[in-house]
Chains A and B, each alone.
Chain A
């Protein structure tokens, strides 16, 4: 044999062993690190959180979790029996806890994804053109997406800070805001929404741009030859071909919007704009309702899961319709 030995190195021995294993064993070994990490940080805590959600809250006892109550926490939440002093839209504190949070979260998700999709599409269409300085326009448009949440929050906090920023004065002059917007739920909701749209339209733009760039340019030539106007080209070529990328981008954005927390916490605060994630944190830190918090976390995941399902079914139907 003229070949040098490749397996003299001690380090190579496990790798050589791995070489002779079946495809399945090889796959499992390679997946081990990922699932170890996911197991410790995600899957195990999820199981624990689910267990917690089946226990009783002990607001004043030394241990925050009591005996097993089964699905009672979920039932209380869904039936609107879990009440907390929250002020959003409801100065009488009578709106059930989960409904408030669900309303805030879904309203935020729908509005933010809607505006981000429209703006992101516009930005992507601009970036898809060939023009001088495109590189820098692209950087400028993408850059908000790279901004840390805390800084994004702070910018809008300062803009709408009554003593420093101009935002409050302006909004008041057109009659949209009350005296202290960062303490008012509806005003704050708007501020959080604007801040989110500013930052994450760029994300939509990126994904839609990627979709636009994989459209075969030859199709537009065909369309022009057959006399299609710019609008018709957009409607019959761009939109249908970008639709899958658009749906994927919207799916990611919706999942993210449903989990909104940091932006709220760093601007108006979780008491003012109680999203589902906020509710989990305030229940843990504010009122020591660990079990209720865990149940809320799981319900959030269920809602997100349902949304994902709707998106996936839409995507699949489109694919079936195409073929």
Chain B
């Protein structure tokens, strides 16, 4: 290969722009990727990273700008074109098909006419070569998240791409799995392949990447060598200013005198559907004034656990769940709310709120049972008191700094962060004795995330028991007193946050503590 060919960038993106309606998701973005480098694309949620890479992969079309591939101007009109050029992609939310086998899933993304049998063989060989073992005949719906990612990566590698795009690959992995992934990526780099690595985790980027491009609000905020930056300087580029980190006063009093407000004893539950996780003998107590965190890779039963605690799924035995000392295992969610508990699910649209309904209705959604007297009139007729609902929405909006347009917009019209603040505010306004939150800051911008964390800390300080389920270890270590790990539907013992290290948690996530 001649010198000029090596110097020529593999990919050169110039002033690429994408709009959705009035929203400018990507605004004149420039990006250059050289051969054999791991290039990081950094940015907060909503900075435009996903939109940008979808344009590189042909799933979205830019409205302006140019893309040069190996020096030649190209129009990536579809993923098939991208794959033809030699661009492969591993998605963040896996684009896999639950009802198909691993081999069938791989076959779908290969343009060449290879018989299914051959694909299975090649996939197995390739997987072994890169340390990614795989059963080609397994139904994807039955696989763990880590195994699914392996399919994605093998699927991508089978096309022998020159550029591999990885969208937040470690967000679903345990630290140990992530380490293994890094080894695979470094091997690929050594073979001369280029990697575009999308992340918001600064330590990973510093450790792995040769260059980094930082996006903020759809624009390029900077271009740097991450190994020469500090996490603080990278964070500043990402966020634009120093974010306030939630602070909490060091642990208040011993548990000895504190009252247990949420008690879970021997909670087990068979899987509800074909692709859901069973829960195994979970026990946990949360005391007044503390925040307990549950870490773990998503898909290990967190959703099922949340629904069991909330009462959306009831238990057979009443004493499995106690709220404020009262056995509530057989009670539904309204009764559990009546006992002083409040719940914030992971999905905002379609679980915690109804997208098509206005905020007043969404306030009533979780409050009618406990605050019926305030929001309903007409006795047995139960007529909605619109004015009182509206003013209650107004005070939540004010207390939580929810930004919205219009008096009473539909929930779907709010941004993720603002809707999350509204939902948390809706529950906090009741001053609940117990709050259970699943993924409190998932998909939420940094400003709102800090606000939400502070609100949780304040609630605990006022004497409530708070249980936080989160994939974000940094978040848990920041706000929790104790942390446990959920793995395949079982819960580890809790550790005081002070004693927790990333490595320990990682081992627990992989299920290693059970053997010990």
A and B: partners? no
Residues of A within 8 A of B (CB): none
Measured CB to CB, the residues of B under 8 A from A are none
